[in-house]
Structure 1
Amino acid sequence: MGTSYDQGCFELCGCKAGRQQPPTIRGRGTDPARASSRQRGSRIAGAHVRGRAWPMTMPLLTRVDASPASPFDPRLESLRGLACLTVCVFHATHVFASNPQSVFFDTLLLAANPAAAVMFFFVLSGYVLGASLERDLAIAPYLARRLFRLIPAFAAAVVFAFACERLLRLDPAPAGLTTGFQHLFWPQPTWHDLWDNLLLGSNRVNGPTWTLFPELLGSMMLPFVVAAHGRIEPRWRWALFAAVTILLTSSPYRTLLWFYFGCFLVKEFAALLAGRRQLATVAFISGLVGLEIAGSYDEFYTVGIVLVSATAAALMMGAVVSSRDMLRWTTTAPLRFLGRISFSLYLVHWPIFYVCALVAVNCGSIVPTQIWGNLFVMVTSLVAAIGIAALAYRFIEAPSIRAGALAARLLAETWRSRAVVNSAG
């Protein structure tokens, strides 16, 4: 980011945002007429909403631990993992204050842009959840899967962070730490802070958990937007998109644009770029640059920043979805693994880098300078956080996902049984 640690980064991940962030919204599919005219590139697969076929931009894979209706592209998941990694790196390199100028750290911080990463998360959620709803608009099973996907991992991460910050302390705050780092971790969190964080009233215990509130709100709003797009003729989709965009822009919920653009624009960009590999490459790079620039501004929630960043992220994803050959290197096993555990990594890295910072303080004679101290925290916290995130995925996330899928099936069967009884009556 272009701002200092004290001014920007941790505000974006916690202190500034709070509950002010609205959630995701989903748009509608590509014009079937346009799809039929594009035989080059990836084919368009039909998805049915209320009996009408709505196209998807490419055949999507299905994860073993995902619901059958959820679209999955391993490249996008890997990009999510890399975006999560940038958040972890940025936080870990802002523990010790007054770093001397360093080309290495300046380059690292330029690449590690947490604001852009969070914007990317929201747009990706809009695309993935919207595509899933286009396949199956049953709201109750969808919400069950979503709640089981988010809440257990979130609650476990908050409790874990609370335990770390309460049991592992150096009081008063050691000298040499940044003002922002001290503000976030001193004084120690109270039981009231824990309860408030679990109820999404604050993010005092685990800073990055502020993003859960917009994710939940968006998850509840998405079915209605997808249904609205499903009811209109494809030729009117852009008019509806413009109307919803204007409505959200003029409302307190303008951050919903990230999710809405992900739902609608990714498919549109993918259809335009299908079969045009060079143009797709240019589009991806342009989107990446635009997202990096937009994510570097202090005003995270201004209309201009939201519109530019949402469009840029959607352009990146549309370029990837448009071609199977785009970013094939992201399908390697390490990046697939990173993407798979990215949600847990995003949640648990906060207390881990706090603990590693305390270790660095106690090893002052071994790690003498601020630069080496931040480098020590970055390396050790990443290694530890990835390991703990892998355990969290295996023992918390994966069982929760399976439980959500089971609950969704039970709800779907219940609704079908009631429908049969009502029709028979």
Structure 2
Amino acid sequence: MTRYEEIDTLRGLAALTVLLSHFMVVFDFNTHNTYAMGFATNWYKYSPLHIVWAGHEAVLFFFILSGFVLTLPFMKNHSFSYRGYLVKRFFRIYIACIVSIFAALILKWSVVQNMRTVDSAWMNTMWDEDFSISTIINHFLLVGAHSGEISPVIWSLVYEMRISIIFPVVVYFVLKYDWKKLLLFALLLSAFCCILSAMFSNNTLNNLLLTGHYTSIFIVGSILAKHHLTIIEKMRSIKRWQKYVLLIIGVLVYTCNWLIDPDSFVHNILIVDWTATIGASIFMMLSLSSSALSKLLKSKIPSFFGKISYSLYLYHLTILMFFIKFDTGLPIALTLPLTFIVSIFVATVSYQFVEIPSMRAGKIIANRLKEKLSVSKSA
């Protein structure tokens, strides 16, 4: 099976944009409408430049990349083991996540007696109350409608784990049916879930409906995986100026959430998530089809961020909240660079000593399960 290093790097770049988006939250800049503050304040918020810190869009990018990467083995491997698949997925996602939750709890309890407030309303609500036992249990089980009381980034992993459980069924239909029908189904599923979610205020129901919505994003990644060789071949055949036009279109639709009036009827989760999905799909296919871009993405520094992307996503906000909440006396101008440096260091350690051993363990257990199944069948 071909491994695309560019995909890992794209995940790393997406993790960096999530980090930068949370840096902007510190200034209470990304959490409310700032149109009235004038051009000087908003020129890079309500413009395509927002791509640098488009956090929610980056999470959608994660979902597309996961759908893409998880589909590739199904296209080559005819001896599929569901138990082996779940074991590897569990060890890939869950172990590092649980360790990060423990770290978040320790850091939160260490700042309880020495908290400070900042200008960010959102930041001031984080870690401001003791966690209930049910909240802690739900975080460790990755269930419930997480608002991120302990580790705010966990919300996306709830959907990642849920969708991973049913994903082999998704791939079965993706590989069997025409992409047009599949894409139409994904759109209808997404629309159905988003409309119902807007109609009801029940958190549990909305959480399940959003699972359906995000499943449709995974389906897009799976469709791209199925047809990626054809798409890459066609994109390599187009002229350079056409690729630049595609790139511009990708940036515009990816940042559509910030280019249209938030009070407009077209500014809703269905439209902004799907436009971001289109943009992310364009970026991914351009990355795989352009030799120059591919070479850049596979260079040393971008590849490094690709490797530590998951741990960087898990830890950066916990570290940021610790430095923000703990009254160190450091100004924000120093707190943010310090957070960046520490986050990279912690992510590197987590990758080496948590992620890699977890993935190895998952593969070993999955292979043993496969061997036992083979023995039982032959017997």
Give the TM-score range, shorter chain.
0.7 to 0.9
Alignment match, 2:151: 206
Q: 1:229 touches 1:240 (CA, 8 Å); kept in 2?
A: yes
Partner SS state of residue 220, structure 2: helix
Alignment match, 2:56: 115
Task: Rate the CA distance shift 1:176–1:249 in 2: closer, same or farther, 3 A.
Answer: closer
Alignment match, 1:404: 362
Aligned with 1:287 (options 242, 245, 250):
250
Cα distance in 1, alignment partners of residues 171 and 233 from structure 2: 19
Alignment match, 2:74: 133
Q: 1:295 touches 1:309 (CA, 8 Å); kept in 2?
A: no
Aligned with 1:324 (options 291, 303, 320):
291
1:376-387 mapped onto 2 (5 Å cutoff): 376-387=334-345
Q: 1:291 touches 1:308 (CA, 8 Å); kept in 2?
A: yes
Please identify, of 277-286 and 81-90, the stretch whose mean Cα deviation from structure 2 is larger. 277-286
Cα distance in 1, alignment partners of residues 23 and 149 from structure 2: 18
- Are 1:223 and 2:168 matched, yes or no? yes
Alignment match, 2:201: none
Look up the equivalent residue of 2:322 and give its one-letter code: V
* TM superposition shift of 1:124: 0.9
Alignment match, 2:198: none
Cα distance in 2, alignment partners of residues 402 and 213 from structure 1: 23
Partner SS state of residue 362, structure 1: coil
Look up the equivalent residue of 2:159 and give its one-letter code: P
The runs of at least 4 consecutive aligned structure 1 residues that moved more than 6 Å come to: 98-106, 295-301
Q: 1:218 touches 1:256 (CA, 8 Å); kept in 2?
A: yes
Unaligned stretches of 5+ residues in structure 2: 194-208
* TM superposition shift of 1:415: 2.6
TM-score, length basis structure 2: 0.80
Cα distance in 2, alignment partners of residues 189 and 102 from structure 1: 41
Aligned residues: CA RMSD: 2.9
TM-score, length basis structure 1: 0.72
Q: 1:89 touches 1:378 (CA, 8 Å); kept in 2?
A: no
Cα distance in 1, alignment partners of residues 318 and 351 from structure 2: 17
Q: For this pair of structures, how many residues does the alignment match?
A: 339
* TM superposition shift of 1:224: 1.1
Cα distance in 1, alignment partners of residues 76 and 267 from structure 2: 33
Cα distance in 1, alignment partners of residues 354 and 159 from structure 2: 22
Look up the equivalent residue of 2:180 and give its one-letter code: W
Q: 1:88 touches 1:346 (CA, 8 Å); kept in 2?
A: yes
Aligned with 1:189 (options 131, 137, 146):
131
Alignment match, 1:142: 85
Aligned with 2:280 (options 313, 318, 321):
313
Alignment match, 2:5: 74
* TM superposition shift of 1:263: 1.2
* TM superposition shift of 1:281: 4.1
Q: 2:63 touches 2:214 (CA, 8 Å); kept in 1?
A: no
Alignment match, 2:372: 414
Look up the equivalent residue of 2:238 and give its one-letter code: R
Higher helix proportion, which one?
Answer: 2
* TM superposition shift of 1:325: 3.3
Cα distance in 2, alignment partners of residues 306 and 358 from structure 1: 32
Q: 2:118 touches 2:324 (CA, 8 Å); kept in 1?
A: no
Look up the equivalent residue of 1:169 and give its one-letter code: V
Cα distance in 2, alignment partners of residues 276 and 398 from structure 1: 39
Unaligned stretches of 5+ residues in structure 1: 1-58, 61-71, 368-372
* TM superposition shift of 1:404: 0.8
The CA deviation string for residues 225-270 of structure 1, in whole angstroms up to 9 with x for no partner, is 22223345xxx44334434543443243122221111111362643
Could you tell me the percent identity over the aligned residues? 22
Cα distance in 1, alignment partners of residues 41 and 113 from structure 2: 30
Please identify, of 221-230 and 115-124, the stretch whose mean Cα deviation from structure 2 is larger. 221-230
- Are 1:250 and 2:192 matched, yes or no? yes
